Amino acid sequence: MISPILILNCGSSSIKFSLSDPDQGAHVLSGLVEKLDSPGALLKWKGAHGGERELGLAGHREALRGIVGLLHELNLSCSGIGHRVVHGGEHFRKSCLVSEESMESLRANQHLAPLHNPVNLLGIEAAREAFPDLPQVMVFDTAFHQTMPERAYLYALPYDLYETHRIRRYGFHGTSHRYVCEEAARRLERPLEELALISAHLGNGCSAAAVLGGKSMDTTMGLTPLEGLVMGTRSGDIDPSLHEFLCKLLNMSLAEVSDMLNKKSGLLGLSGRTNDMRELLQAEQEGDNRASMAVTVFCYRLAKAISGLMVGLGRLDALIFTGGIGENSIPVRQRTLDLLPFLGLKVDVEANQSHGLDQNGRISLGTSPCALVIPTDEEIVIARDTATLIR
Ligand code: ADP
């Protein structure tokens, strides 16, 4: 037995945290420090007498000290810290202990995720100050996809860009894809090594992955999390000439186009209304044609990507839906599966209505292939990897 692991997910303006038991798979405490670096920084937590408190003008360091203080007050201890790190580049093929050497390698990868990695590094440094006696581990969103073969990860660009600058497809949401695939094997009572799976993680960010024998063979996100599926506010795939086209047509700067593709596109851009799938489905019911069109494009692009991922697998045992939309949206699952009859998947309408809860997640008729709904748990993957490495 090991005491719980503190999991930290450091963003630019917030730190999400949870205290999770790797053996029981349970979360003792979870919380968030938001509005970092503004006068109203706020620490909120759930579980163990939930509550909230103001931290004043707090940056990452002060926020982590606030979390240390909270754990002391609640009389909670932890045996190690697991950090969610967005981009591990090619260097990190699996989770690893934080050391001077691994920090140096992470710094060398900063250019690959300029928005995320510097703040992840800052979080690790601040956590080392706040918890000087605890071992720490980095768990990467990209690591799971490092098994992708060259044919899947190379862009058809001058090869020198890969050789010199490591410009290639990396993929993200690795901890989630890994968790739901392991869970699918458990539910199907078959060894993961035998299974051909496609996992669709559909949250605010969305990606799908082809996983053969537990190894990622291909995925929809690329060098950055902008590639691939339609997402809440991200466009996913577009014509690579679009930047130049818009710069000329609308006199936009490159930064403005990137901002539009990341923050004003996807479901939000198409609907002109919201990035929230639940609200869009409600609006569709009330007759909003653009909301309906946004959902239709979302499902079509998802189905198209799933059928493309089949090339990396050759066969299919199960298609897994996860993430806020995948776990909860009955119509999105139905409409996506309706586009994929050639995969041999047929929705079990009743089971889909209840999210497969009575059938171990299964929402399709017939035995193989099947469609499954499996709630993801990225924190547990981070807690388990951390516990394994510090043991
Ligand atoms: P994040 O990527 O930020 O973790 P989530 O995995 O929580 O996001 O997913 C958020 C998305 O899930 C939102 O689009 C939200 O509308 C959608 N969602 C949550 N519950 C439902 C529901 N009952 N029906 C449809 N969509 C839902």
Q: What is the pLDDT of residues 220-266, one digit of tens each?
A: 999 999 999 999 999 999 999 999 999 999 999 999 999 999 999 99
Indicate the average pLDDT of the chain.
95
Percent above pLDDT 70 for the chain: 99
| Residue written as token pair 């403005």 | 256
Q: What is the pLDDT of residue 117?
A: 87
**pTM: predicted TM-score of the whole model, two decimal places:** 0.95
- Least confident range from 109-118, 210-219, 321-330, 366-375: namely 109-118
> From the CB of 324, is ligand 1 less than 6 Å away?
yes
Q: Average of pLDDT values for 2-31?
A: 91
Best residue for ligand 1 mutational test, from 204, 279, 295 (most atoms within 8 Å of Cβ)? 204
Dump pLDDT digits (tens) for 122-174: 889 988 988 899 999 999 999 999 999 999 999 999 999 999 999 999 999 99
Q: With contact defined as beta carbons under 8 Å apart, do 355 and 330 qualify?
A: yes
Ligand 1: which residue has its CA nearest to atom 22?
328
DSSP strands (E only) in the chain: 5-10, 15-21, 26-34, 41-46, 51-56, 80-85, 96-97, 136-140, 196-202, 206-212, 215-219, 318-322, 370-373
pLDDT at 204 over 80: yes
Domains and CATH numbers, the chain: 5-140 (3.30.420.40), 190-378 (3.30.420.40)
Q: What is the rounded distance in angstroms from the CA atom of residue 295 to the CA atom of residue 280?
A: 7
Question: 87: helix, coil or strand?
Answer: coil
> From the CB of 205, is ligand 1 less than 6 Å away?
yes
Give the rounded distance of the alpha carbon of 173 from its chain centre.
3
> From the CB of 277, is ligand 1 less than 6 Å away?
yes
Question: 372: helix, coil or strand?
Answer: strand
Is there a cis peptide before residue 149, judged by omega within 30 degrees of 0?
no
How many Cβ atoms from other residues are within 10 Å of residue 98's Cβ?
A: 23
